Amino acid sequence: MAARDALVKYFRVHVQAFPQNRRLRPFTLSSNLLLRRFSEEVRGSFLDKSEVTDRVVSVVKNFQKVEPSKVTPNAHFQNDLGLDSLDAQEIMMALEEEFGFEIPDNEADKINSINLAVDFIASHPQAK
């Protein structure tokens, strides 16, 4: 019991009351403390872009309506590969299967080249 009393006395914190006429300001944190800082490279990507590029190119090359020799990282689905919008949707579905996440339709409609697909997938947190 004496040891407990000694410890309580040792750890006791002195509290000082504020004067009645002093207004308390609300506790605020600067936005820098709230936001975790990352370098531009880490903030914008989750998977290695070169790995994503290789995998996307591989998926597109394996698509039966595509001439594999025409597939490059800069290839545009319609202009360079001669695909229509239905073919592009099928490629998006194959990419969803490859990377294990669903690409929303509104985003899939914007992806019309291999580079755009790579950028979207590399920056998506659910891509595996």
- Gap between the Cα atoms of 112 and 92, Å rounded: 10
Return the DSSP state at 104: P
Q: Does the annotation mark 84 as catalytic?
A: yes
Cα-Cα-Cα-Cα torsion 77, 81, 86, 87, nearest 10 degrees, comes to -110
Give the Cα separation of 113 and 11 in Å (integer).
65
Residue that has been written with the tokens 């919008």 in this structure: 85
User: Which one from 80, 84, 109, 119 is the annotated catalytic residue?
Assistant: 84
Q: Are 53 and 118 in contact (CB under 8 A)?
A: yes
What positions carry a catalytic annotation? Answer: 84
